[in-house]
Structure formats: structure tokens, C-alpha cells
Chains A and B, each alone.
Chain A
Amino acid sequence: MSVFSDIVFGGLFQGSLYAMMAVGLALVWTTIGVFNFSHGVFMMLGAYFAWQLVAFGLPVVIAFPLAVIVMAGAGWILQASVVRPLIGRPNIVLVVVITTLAAGSLIENGALTVWGPRSKQLPSLIEGNTTIAGVGVSLHQIAIIVITPLILAALWSFLNRTRLGLALRAVAQNEDASQLVGLNVTALYGLAFAIAASLAGLAGIFMGGYRFMNPSMGADPLLKALIVVVFGGISSISGPIFAAYLIGFFEAASNYYFGLYWTPALLFLVLIGTLMVRPEGIFAGRSRGLA
């Protein structure tokens, strides 16, 4: 029984973090049609901004939301500086891989200069531990498992139930037609990046609360998020969300039965197998567009 709850709990927890990261990546891909390789750096930056605000003496309830808001601004600025000028180029997908990688590396080194290489840690969302179904867990992890689906549901309703969300979904599908109904395409692109960066920043805050932070802490989550979106399909945001949890459960089970060492290899094996059968991802339709 405890094995089962161990796996369920571990899957939910990892899945939450993966979903939080992957959804931003998918949002940027579906609206703008580029992959943002500084997405992992956004995660790191969110954690460090939060750490800095806490170090300034702000209480967590103010510092964490403020860091998330600052990250929205950071996402907007990054979009305006290294993505927007390239829009309309035929080779934009590849060029943006390079510009966002470059910007990410610059920011990472900036963080190293400003905050130094020494590991830091953020306060937990909620202090303390408890036991559920025979598994000892921290309240911080429980909070993440509860908050993430709420935020993802809020994002889903924003995209599907509001006029601005409708505009974001539209601009993903046809830029000319979007302009002809009067959408502000550049602002919508900025908004997509801002939301993605905020979510990444929040994932960073989650992670900084149970693991040590360092300036390259975003590299592995970025890789995982890429795997999630490739696996889940990028034609919507629900595909990556399901895939994130699926991969979370897979990893938890594999960690238990085969060990940490074999898990990445097994994951890639499953990924490659899946893509051979369904190249567009398991939950995807064939087109690009938020739905």
C-alpha cells in the first residue's frame, strides 16, 4: 500500500513541476511558433528574485507573488528584445533557438555574478511535515500538488473563457486574419511570453523551497519540459499537462522499481517508442494552435 501511495505521491509532485514548466513552453510555441530555450533560466530567475525579496525582509506572501509579477515583466522584455525583431523571418524557429539560448546563457552568468555560486534555499510555502496513507511528506510538497492544478485550471479558463484568451488562441492560428480583426499581435506575443515566464518563475519558487538553488538549476527542468511537450504534443496546452503527469508517474514508478540510474534511459526509450507510433505526440492533433 505504501509503495503505491509513494508512487502516486511522487508522480503527482514531479508531474506538477513538469506541467508548470511545460505549459509555458507550449503556450509560447502555440502562439508565436518558436521554442524558448531561456525557459529554464526564467525558472532560475524567478527563484532568485523571490530569494532576493525575502532577503530584503519581505514576508513570503508578498515576496513570492511579487517575484512572479516581476518575471512577467522579464518575459515581456526578453520577447521584445530577442524574439519580436525576428518575427516574419522564414528561418525564425532556428534563429530564435539561438537567440534565446544566448540570452539564457547571458542571464545565467549575470545571476552568477550578482548572487554568486553558493547554493541558496527559499523558505517553504508551508513549513512542516505530515503522513498521508503511510507516506511521510512535507506540507510544501502538498501545497505544490494542490496549487498547480488550480493555476493550470485558471490558465485554461483564461484561454477558453475570456476574450483576451480567445485572442491569444486566434493569433496562434492565423496572424493576418488576427490583424484584420484588430488584434494587437505584438502585444499578444508579449503576453504569451509574460505568462510563460511567470509560470516558470513560480516553478522555480516551488523548487527553491525543497532543493538548493544555483544559477544553472533551470537546465534540467528545461530539458524535462521539452520532453513533456514533445511527448504530449504541442498543439494545445492540455496535451502537455496530461503528459507532464504521465511522465511524473512513470518516473516515480521507474525510480522505485529500476532505480534513479535507469529512469532517464527508460524514459527516453518510451519517448522514442511513442514518437515512432505517434510523431505528433500522444495527446495532439496535427496543427499548431491553442485549444
Chain B
Amino acid sequence: MSENPILSVEAVTSGYGRVTVLHDITLEAGRFGNVGLFGPNGHGKTTLLRTISGLVAPKSGRVAFDGKDITGLSARAIVATGLIHVPQGNKLFPDLTIGDCMALGAYSPRARPHEAENREKVVKLFPKLAERWRQRVRTLSGGERQMVSIGTALMSHPRLLILDEPTLGLAPKIKDELCAAVMDISKGGVPLVVVEQDIEFLLELSRQLFLVDHGAVKTEIRPGESLEHSEIMAMYFGH
């Protein structure tokens, strides 16, 4: 792994309007491979990811991607650097077909030259999508939509992929399928930052974990500090 963190968040304060959600949050990611984020509901994990990808402008602090300051850049400018965010939930583009979504994923000039090659990767990873290429997103199952979300992000030719609860609300079988796909993406060389409630999956995927609590990093778990599930659950519930 590289010497420098691929993503660093320094003393970021952020929120919506007058509501502050993140308080001076600091974390460095990617020095040791994939990063997992977990924590109780409503404590700012999604807000952190939205701030990183430029959907929410931070009130103060600094975000850097691969050594380059991206604080306050538009989401579009951040996409152009190769930092790609798969948002929580799977609203997506309800009236577009899967094929349309993939074409949109490759919209940015950086991704366009790789469109054919990335489409092949997506189809290999999610063969189901190929069968339903002309089907509208609104008619897909939850698991299929999540595949479309991740597939669209892969079409954007990510240098870093941020996933917000990719397995939320999915039945066990389809969840396993998605977990395996996410592992495959990681093995394919794309570093990941993943928010997940499923700690087992997070432990399998990442060597560095952060517990986000009340809009700040409460605990950081580094490689080598192998933790038992029960210890993490204890942290989770704040004992």
C-alpha cells in the first residue's frame, strides 16, 4: 500500500443549513487498504460521505483526495478526479433503463474512453444486469437496483469507490451475492471506503475501521489490532 493516505478528512465540520452533523471529524483512509465505517443510525456516516463527494459543502476543515485538496469543489469536479460515490438507498433514475444508467456512468470525459471496457467488467460482475439491459430501474428488485448503482459507479472508472450501505435491506442470498461482488471489485484493484451495518462483512473487507459516533470518529481500529466481534459490538453500543 502507498505511503500517503488516498483520502484524508481534516477537522471537517458539516451539516445541513443550521444543523451541524459532523463536528471536527478527522480521518485518514487508504494507507492500509480498504476502509470500513460503522456506527449508530443518524450519527453522520452518510453526511460524511456526502461531504467528501461534494454534495454537501463543509463549513470548515479540509478534504484531500490523493494529495489534492478537493474541499469545496463541485460534485462534478470531484467525479472528474475519479472519486466516485454510490449513495445510500437505491432511488437512482427510476424511468431510465439499465443501459441508460451505464451510459450515464460513463458521462464524464475521464470515464468515456474506458466505456466499453468498463461495461464488460460490469456485465461480468453482474450478469443479471445484461439480461435486463432495457428494463426500467423502477421495475427492478432492491438487489438489482443496488447492482445498477454499483455498476453505474464502475462505469465512472473509479480510482476510489465510496459505498454507502450497499447491502441495506437485502435478503441474505442476494446480500451474499453483493458482498462477493464488492470483494471482487476490491481485488480488481479499486480501493474502497464502505459504510456498513454488517460488521462481519466489514471486517472481512477492510483492515482499517472507524466508528463514527455523534459526528466524529470515536474509535479507529488499525491492522494488527484484530478485534473480536463482541468487542466491536461493545464499542458500538458505547460501553
| Cβ of B118 under 8 Å from chain A | no
Stretch at the interface among A163-171, A197-205, A259-267, A273-281: A163-171
CB distance from B161 to the nearest CB of A (A): 12
B54 / chain A contacts, CB cutoff of 8 Å: 179
* CA distance in complex: A120, B197 (Å): 69
* B-side interface residues, number (CB < 8 Å): 29
Stretch at the interface among A8-16, A181-189, A221-229, A249-257: A181-189
If A166-B100, A166-B103 touch, whether A180 touches B94 (CB-CB below 8 Å) is no
* CA distance in complex: A167, B100 (Å): 9
A182 to B87, Cβ gap below 8 A?
no
| Cβ of B156 under 8 Å from chain A | yes
B53 / chain A contacts, CB cutoff of 8 Å: 180
Within B77-103, the residues touching A (CB, 8 Å) are 79-80, 84-87, 91-96, 100, 103
* CA distance in complex: A183, B100 (Å): 14
* CA distance in complex: A182, B78 (Å): 8
If A177-B93, A182-B76 touch, whether A163 touches B84 (CB-CB below 8 Å) is no
Chain A residue at minimal CB-CB distance from B149? A177
* CA distance in complex: A172, B78 (Å): 21
| Cβ of A138 under 8 Å from chain B | no
B107 to A181, Cβ gap below 8 A?
yes
| Cβ of A215 under 8 Å from chain B | no
| Cβ of A289 under 8 Å from chain B | yes
If A177-B87, A181-B152, A183-B76 touch, whether A169 touches B95 (CB-CB below 8 Å) is yes
- Main secondary structure on A side of the interface with B: helix
If A166-B104, A167-B104 touch, whether A180 touches B93 (CB-CB below 8 Å) is no
* A-side interface residues, number (CB < 8 Å): 22
B94 to A173, Cβ gap below 8 A?
yes
Which of A181, A285, A290, A291 meets B104, CB within 8 Å? A181
Which of B80, B85, B100, B138 meets A180, CB within 8 Å? B85
B105 / chain A contacts, CB cutoff of 8 Å: 181
| Cβ of B22 under 8 Å from chain A | no
Which of A163, A182, A287 meets B95, CB within 8 Å? A287
Chain B residue at minimal CB-CB distance from A288? B95
CB distance from B156 to the nearest CB of A (A): 6
| Cβ of B194 under 8 Å from chain A | no
Chain B residue at minimal CB-CB distance from A169? B96
| Cβ of B48 under 8 Å from chain A | no
If A169-B95, A170-B96, A287-B95 touch, whether A179 touches B107 (CB-CB below 8 Å) is no
A182 to B80, Cβ gap below 8 A?
yes
* CA distance in complex: A174, B107 (Å): 15
| Cβ of B192 under 8 Å from chain A | no
B91 / chain A contacts, CB cutoff of 8 Å: 174, 177
CB distance from A87 to the nearest CB of B (A): 14
A182 to B92, Cβ gap below 8 A?
no
A290 / chain B contacts, CB cutoff of 8 Å: 95
A183 / chain B contacts, CB cutoff of 8 Å: 76, 104, 107
Interface core residue of B93, B105, B138 (most chain A CB under 10 Å) = B93
| Cβ of B75 under 8 Å from chain A | yes
* CA distance in complex: A163, B107 (Å): 8
Q: List 7 A-B contacts (CB under 8 A).
A: A163-B103, A166-B100, A169-B95, A179-B54, A180-B85, A181-B79, A182-B156
Nearest first, the 6 closest Cβ-Cβ pairs linking A and B are A182-B79, A182-B108, A179-B75, A289-B95, A173-B93, A182-B76
A interface residue numbers (CB < 8 A to B): 163, 166-167, 169-170, 173-174, 176-185, 285, 287, 289-291
